[in-house]
Chains A and B, each alone.
Chain A
Amino acid sequence: MEQPLTHDGTDDGTDGTDSTLATAELTLQYPDGESPAVEEVSLAVDAGQLTALVGPNGSGKSTLLKGLSAQLSPETGRAILDGRALASYDDTTLARRLGILHQEPDGPDALTVAELVSHGRYPYRGFLDQLSDADRAAVERALSLTGTAALRDRALADLSGGQRRLAWLAMVLAQDTDVLLLDEPTTFLDLHHQLTVMQVVRELRDTDGVAIVAVLHDIEQAARYADEMVVLSAGCVVARGPPAEVVTPELLARVFGVEATVDTDAQGVRVRPLRPLAQHSGERR
């Protein structure tokens, strides 16, 4: 099957020795913040790799995504996309390389799914351009990948929360990027839609070779789908590596403040949380 969404990763002049998306000792601070929200984080995501960011509330996961998408510029350190500083990309070029699904995006109620998804082609269209054939093909592929093709003429307000999330994911996919950032893509969804979203994400990684960074709340889910897990606590990376190595009772106690048992079986890592511990230090105070 033809795959109009993919870049083969070699046509952009970089030799692929570096990771697609990387940070080096990245420190991020909000303009009105008193201390950095993310401190000296180094990570690297390759094409065809899914990195899960996990950590308790307020540990800096979403902030790190802002740093990875140039919404927040580095206080110190660097964020690099394909060997070039993220900040050196102009808005349109960046939007063609890197897509981001925001937490709970909000569009006009009457907007149809097809209209929403076609906005994903914004960075490819000139000021007065109509949708080109390539644009339409990308929209159709995004609709079919996410299983929202049947919903194309429905208004956003008429959809369930899960369908709406898939429609927004389709819009980001229509952007046809080789890096995808997902900010809590499964939060608030029922089980069926959680699995649907993660399956789409996995397919993008495996067949299109997209480099993916996802903030995930569900540790089991993160362990199941991610190639690498990066655990943040109080703005710093406290653990990283393959899920089976990262997820331990000790980590869950130290970072998440829960007593839990961890088993590994054929399905992956199983976490059974038992009870909250009195003291934990994951949140930044």
Chain B
Amino acid sequence: MTGRYSWLTRELGVVVFGSSLVVLVSATLQLSFGAYPLSPVEAWQTLLDPAVVLNRAAWEAFILGGPLPEYETGTLVTWTIRFPRVLVGVFVGMNLAVSGAILQAVTRNELASPFVLGVSSGAGLAVLLTVVVFTGLLPYLPLFAAVGGGLAFLLVYSIAWQGGTSPVRLVLAGVIVSSVFGSVQTGLFLLLEDVGVIQSVVAWTTGSLVGADWAQVRMMLPWTVLAVGAALLGSRQLNVLTLGERTASSLGMSVERVRFGLSGVAVLAAAASVAAAGIVGFVGLVVPHIVRRLVGTDHKRLLVGCAFAGPALMTAADAGARLALSPAQIPVGIVTGLVGGPYFLYLMRKHGDFGGF
């Protein structure tokens, strides 16, 4: 336990390396396959093409959204369609996993997910309201989804607040808000008549990376940096919070302030990913779980592990979602659910103490 980098353990190294490998393999699949097939070698040659990588105008187009220089089709497909989709997957996975790790510590519940404090229900309701009632505002759908998620979180917090909160009251308030919002959401669904609209709403509420491009990358990048950075800075606070609020407060922590701040970071991360990809389930629940089993309970390790393992699961699942039934694409949330469910079943069978922190 000496030295500045002593928290870097071998197990964490394995998680980081393994996850990076999965991301690379998934990226290769994503870049190669599709309506315009490329060989893996061609795909990487295109991705590392100096004519793009070293071209300032191209990067301005990607990052700032300006006009793109002329390129051949393969380059365009790789750089404007396939690669940004991989990047969005990486960011979404990172945000959801980090968000889940934070909320599991804040609520002291290993079964908490980024959506436990009402984010998904608030975002889902906002999406349906936009589609059904405020149809003129459809271009702002992602923004509304994120804002809806944030508002639901504040509502959950105010319901749970009685001169202070507790993990149990927060989770219960989350359940209450989710079920009420869920009912309203289902009610609104019945007002939809256009099958195309229904399908896009379903894609939103199950999570999908279809059509993700540089606009989503631009939108997510700052929030991801902010949320992951803030989470890492708060890792020791998370460690102390998991000792229980009595102990945390007798160690001099302002428990309520820290808990609200860190929950806010988690909700920010989740809301950013909702805005980009809709409500992708299970990533934020399963990834912190797997990583915790490998690297232990220290939150610096856990968060760094999650920041790599989240993208791994997300990009792999998206490769499956896009390529399994090609040319049809299924929402990536369906794949993460299909992978996540059995994993939990396995845990339940294998570990009797499953669910304890």
B34 to chain A, nearest CB (A): 43
Interface presence of B296 (CB below 8 A): yes
Q: Are A127 and B233 in contact (CB under 8 A)?
A: yes
Q: Are B296 and A110 in contact (CB under 8 A)?
A: yes
Q: Say if the beta carbon of A261 comes within 8 Å of chain B.
A: no
- Chain B 225-257 interface mask (CB, 8 Å, partner A; 1/0): 000000001001001101110110111111000
Whether A94 contacts B252 by the Cβ 8 Å rule is yes
Known: A105-B243, A110-B296. A136 touches B2 (CB 8 A): yes
Residue B185, interface by CB 8 Å:
no
Q: A105-B244, A127-B233 are in contact. Are A111 and B297 (CB under 8 A)?
A: yes
Chain B: minimal CB distance from A86 (Å): 13
User: A110 and B233: CB pair below 8 A?
Assistant: no
Closest residue on chain A to residue B4 by CB atoms: A130
Q: Is the CB of B242 within 8 A of A102?
A: no
A95, B1: Cβ atoms closer than 8 Å: no
Contacts of B233 in A (CB 8 A): 127-128
- Digit string of A113-150 for contact with B (CB within 8 Å is 1, else 0)? 01110111011010110110000100000000000000
Q: Please tell me which one of the listed residues B4, B163, B243, B254 contacts residue A119 in the complex, with CB atoms under 8 A apart.
A: B243
Considering only residues 65-89 of chain A, those with a C-beta below 8 Å from chain B are 69, 71
Taken together as a complex, chains A and B put the C-alpha atoms of A115 and B298 apart, in Å, by 9
Assess whether B240 is in contact with A107, with CB atoms less than 8 Å apart: no
Q: Say yes or no: B1 contacts A114, CB within 8 Å.
A: yes
Q: Are B251 and A122 neighbours in the complex by a CB distance under 8 Å?
A: yes
Contacts of A127 in B (CB 8 A): 233
User: Are A119 and B297 neighbours in the complex by a CB distance under 8 Å?
Assistant: no
Contact in complex: A102, B296 (CB < 8 Å): no
A95 and B251 within 8 A (CB): yes
List chain B residues, Cβ under 8 A from A99. Answer: 250
Partner of B240, one of A69, A100, A119: A119
In the complex where A105-B246, A131-B1 touch, is A92 in contact with B252 (Cβ < 8 A)?
yes
A108 within 8 A of B: yes
B356 close to A (CB within 8 Å): yes
- Tell me whether B357 is interfacial, beta carbon within 8 Å: yes
Q: How far is the CA of A123 from the CA of B252 in the complex (A)?
A: 6
The closest CB in chain B to the CB of A95 belongs to B252
Q: Are B4 and A122 in contact (CB under 8 A)?
A: no
Residues in A with CB closer than 8 Å to B247 are 102, 105, 107
Question: Which residues of the partner chain B approach A136 to less than 8 Å between Cβ atoms?
Answer: 2
Interface size on A, residues (CB 8 A): 34
Please report which residues of chain B, range 298-357, place their CB below 8 angstroms from some CB of chain A when the two chains form the complex.
298, 353, 356-357
The chain A residue with its CB closest to the CB of B164 is: A31
On chain B, the residues within 8 Å of A131 by CB distance are 1
Residues of A within 8 A of B4 (CB): 130
A40 to B263, CA, bound (A): 40
Q: Which residues of B are found within 8 Å of A115, using beta-carbon distances?
A: 1, 239, 298
Closest to B356 in A: A109
> Which residues of the partner chain B approach A123 to less than 8 Å between Cβ atoms?
251-252
Query: Complex: how many Å from CA A131 to CA B3?
Result: 9
A93 to nearest B CB, angstroms? 8
Closest residue of chain A to B239, judged by CB? A119
Cross-chain contact A106 with B244 (CB below 8 angstroms) = yes
Nearest-neighbour CB distance to chain B for A250, whole angstroms, equals 37
Q: Tell whether, in the assembled complex, residue A107 and residue B242 are in contact, meaning their CB atoms are under 8 Å apart.
A: yes
C-alpha gap A69/B247 in the complex (Å): 12
CA distance in complex: A94, B239 (Å): 20
Q: Which residues of A contact B2 (CB under 8 A)?
A: 136
A125 CB contacts on chain B under 8 angstroms: 236
List CB contacts (< 8 Å) of B175-211 with chain A: none
Interfacial chain B residues near A130, Cβ < 8 Å: 4
Whether A265 sits at the interface, judged by CB under 8 Å, is no
Q: How far is the CB of A179 from chain B (nearest CB, A)?
A: 12
Contact of A91 among B1, B163, B254, B296 (CB under 8 A): B254
Distance between A97 CB and nearest chain B CB, rounded to angstroms? 10
Q: Are A122 and B249 in contact (CB under 8 A)?
A: no
A96 contacts the other chain (CB 8 A): yes
A129 shortest CB reach to chain B, Å? 9
Report chain A residues within 8 Å CB of B353.
Answer: 109
On whether the beta carbons of A120 and B251 are closer than 8 Å, the reply is yes
Contacting pair B254 A108 (CB below 8 A): no
CA A95 to CA B243, docked complex, whole Å:
15
Binary per-residue interface labels of chain B (15-36) against chain A in the complex, 1 for a CB within 8 Å, 0 otherwise: 0000000000000000000000
A119 to B244, CA, bound (A): 12
CB distance from A150 to the nearest CB of B (A): 15
Residues of B within 8 A of A (CB): 1-2, 4, 163, 233, 236, 239-240, 242-244, 246-247, 249-254, 292, 296-298, 353, 356-357
Extra contacts besides A110-B292, A130-B4, A131-B1 (14): CB < 8 Å: A71-B250, A93-B252, A102-B250, A105-B246, A106-B243, A108-B242, A109-B353, A115-B239, A119-B239, A119-B240, A119-B243, A122-B251, A125-B236, A128-B233
A-B residue pairs, 5 tightest by C-beta: A95-B252, A123-B252, A108-B297, A122-B251, A92-B252
Chain A interface (Cβ within 8 Å of chain B)?
31, 69, 71, 91-96, 99-100, 102, 105-111, 114-116, 118-120, 122-123, 125, 127-128, 130-131, 136, 175
CB pairs A–B below 8 angstroms (9 shown): A93-B252, A94-B252, A95-B252, A105-B243, A106-B244, A110-B292, A111-B297, A127-B233, A175-B251
